[in-house]
Amino acid sequence: MTLIGQDGAAQKDAPKGEAKAAPADTKEAPKDPPKTAAKPDDPKPKPPPTGPEVIEIRPAAGPARMRRRHWGLALVFLLGVLAPLGAAGWYLWGAATNQYASVVGFTVRQENGSPGASQLLGGLAEFAGASGGGSDTDILYEFIQSQNMVTRINERIDLVELYSENWTEDPLFSLWPSAGIEELTNYWSRMTRVTYDQSSGLIELQVLAFDPESAYEIARAILAESQALINELNATAREDTIRYAQNDLEQAMVELRDAREQMTVFRTRTQIPDPEVDLEGRMGVLNNLQQQLAEALIELDLLLGGDAAETDPRVVQARRRIDVIRGRITEERQSFASAEGNVTGEDYPTLMAEYEGLMVDREFAEQNYVTARASLELAQTNAQRQSRYLAVYIEPTEPQRAEYPRRLVLFGLIAFFLVLAWAIMSLIYYSVRDSR
C-alpha cells in the first residue's frame, strides 16, 4: 500500500474516478460537514474523514514462469515436430535419389475406309469395321496400368533390378529387391503417371526412373507395347469380322438352297413350272374369247340391221355362236376358282398365293446371299490394311534434369501435418485439463 499525503503529486498519480483528498490546512473557517443519509443497514452514519485518504493499489504481476505443462508441450513439439521434420529434411536432401521423368503422348486413330463402298453396300463397311477409337483408347489406358503391361516391360527391361539398385541408400523411394509381380505392379503405379482426356482421346504418360536413360527406355518400351496391343486388336477384329461374315454367308446359302428346294417341290407337286406364265396363258384365252364374243355380237347386229328375220339361219347361227362363246368364257372364269383340272385338287388362287409366298422367300434369300457375299468381300478387303494405328503426338523425351522427388513440397506437407497434429493434441490436452 502507498500513503498519499496532502501534496499535489500524490493526487496526480491517483487513478481516474477516485476522489481527490481535501487539504488538511486551510485559511477559511471549516464548514459544517454535509449531512449524509444513513443507510438502512448502518446503525450510524460514518464520520467524515479527518486525515489523509489512503488508497490501496494491487502490486504488479510478476514475470511469467515456465511451468511443467509448458515444458511438456515444448518437449512434445521438439520430439514430435522438430525431430521428425529434421529427419525428413535430412532424408529428402541427403538420402533420397533423384528421379528423372520422360514424357510421351499418343492417341488411337481408326481408318473408316472408303465412303463410296459404305454407301454402295448400305453401311456394310461400318458392320465390317471394328469399334470406335474412343473404346480402343479406354482399353489402352487400362492396359498401361495393368499387370500385363508390367510383365511385358519387365521382360524387355529388368524393372526389379532397375528400381531396386538404390534400396540400401533410399529405401523409401526404391523397390524392394525381392519384390514379386504384385509389389512391382503397385510400385509401377507410383513411377508411371497416366493422364487421359476422354473428350479428345489423348493419353499423356510420365515415366520416372533414377537415371535419364532408364526413363527414356521405359517410355519407348511402353510405346512399343501399346502399338503391339493395337496390332493385336486389329488382328482380332479382322478375324472376328471375317468369321462373322463367313458365317452369315453360309447361313444365307442354306436359306437360299431351302427356298429353291421349296420352289422345286411346288412345281413338281402342281406340275406347273411357272404359275405366272400359266396364268398369262389362261388370261390370253379369256381375252381371245372376249374378242370373239365382241365380233359375234357385231355380226349379229349387222344381220338384224339388214332386214334379216329372226328365223333367218344366219341369225340363228350367230346367236348360237354367241351363246357358245359366253359359255366358254363362263367356264374359263370358273376354272380360276375351281379345283377341277389341277393335280393337287387346289383352286388356282390358293396355288398362286403359295407360289407368291415361295417367290418372296426365294427373292429374300437371294438378296440376303448377295449382301452376305458383299460383306465378306469387304471384310477381306479391310483385313488387308491397318484399320487402327497409334498416333504419337509427343515422342519419348530424354530428361536433362531431375524433377522428382519434389523436396520442398514434401517437406512443407510434412511440416504442416506435424504442426497440425501437435496443435490438435495440445488443444485436446488443455480441454481435458480444464474440464477437471
Question: How many other C-beta atoms are found inside a 10 Å radius of the C-beta of residue 372?
Answer: 22
Q: Please, are residues 121 and 379 in contact by the beta-carbon 8 Å criterion?
A: no
What is the pLDDT at residue 142?
A: 93
Same domain membership, residue 303 and residue 191: no
Task: Identify the burial level of 31 via C-beta atoms within 10 angstroms of its C-beta, where 0-12 means exposed, 13-18 middle and 19 or more buried.
Answer: exposed
Residue 57, in any domain of the structure: no
Please identify every stretch of the chain with a pLDDT value under 50, giving residue numbers as ranges.
1-42, 114-131
What is the pLDDT at residue 149?
A: 94
Residue 330, in any domain of the structure: yes
Rounded Cα distance between 328 and 345, Å, is 22
Residue 56, in any domain of the structure: no
Neighbour order of strands in the sheet with 202-209: 192-197, 202-209, 100-110, 388-394
Same domain membership, residue 311 and residue 227: no
Residue 408, in any domain of the structure: yes
Give me the CATH number covering residue 234. 3.30.1890
Interval 260-285: pLDDT, tens: 999 898 888 888 777 777 767 777 88
Q: Please, are residues 360 and 222 in contact by the beta-carbon 8 Å criterion?
A: no
What is the pLDDT at residue 122?
A: 43
Share of the chain above pLDDT 90, in %: 34
Residue 370, in any domain of the structure: yes
Residue 355, in any domain of the structure: yes
What is the pLDDT at residue 253?
A: 94
What is the pLDDT at residue 276?
A: 73
Interval 45-82: pLDDT, tens: 555 656 566 677 766 655 656 677 778 788 888 888 89
Q: Render 252-315 in DSSP notation, one character per residue.
A: HHHHHHHHHHHHHHHHHHHT-S-HHHHHHHHHHHHHHHHHHHHHHHHHHHHHHHTT--TT-HHH
0.75 exceeded by the pTM? no
Rounded Cα distance between 301 and 424, Å, is 128
Same domain membership, residue 239 and residue 128: yes
What is the pLDDT at residue 312?
A: 79
What is the pLDDT at residue 317?
A: 87
Same domain membership, residue 337 and residue 293: yes
Same domain membership, residue 203 and residue 110: yes
Structural domain total, the chain: 2
Same domain membership, residue 301 and residue 159: no
What is the pLDDT at residue 208?
A: 94
Same domain membership, residue 246 and residue 391: yes
Q: Where are the beta strands (DSSP E) in 11-161?
A: 54-55, 100-110
The domain of 407 spans: 99-250+384-426
What is the pLDDT at residue 213?
A: 94
Same domain membership, residue 119 and residue 246: yes
Rounded Cα distance between 53 and 19, Å, is 9
Same domain membership, residue 245 and residue 128: yes
Same domain membership, residue 326 and residue 242: no
Domain boundary among 350, 365, 382: 382
- Sign of torsion over alpha carbons 330, 336, 338, 340: positive
Question: How many other C-beta atoms are found inside a 10 Å radius of the C-beta of residue 270?
Answer: 17
Residue 377, in any domain of the structure: yes
Residue 413's nearest CA partner among 49, 92, 7 is 92
Same domain membership, residue 241 and residue 135: yes
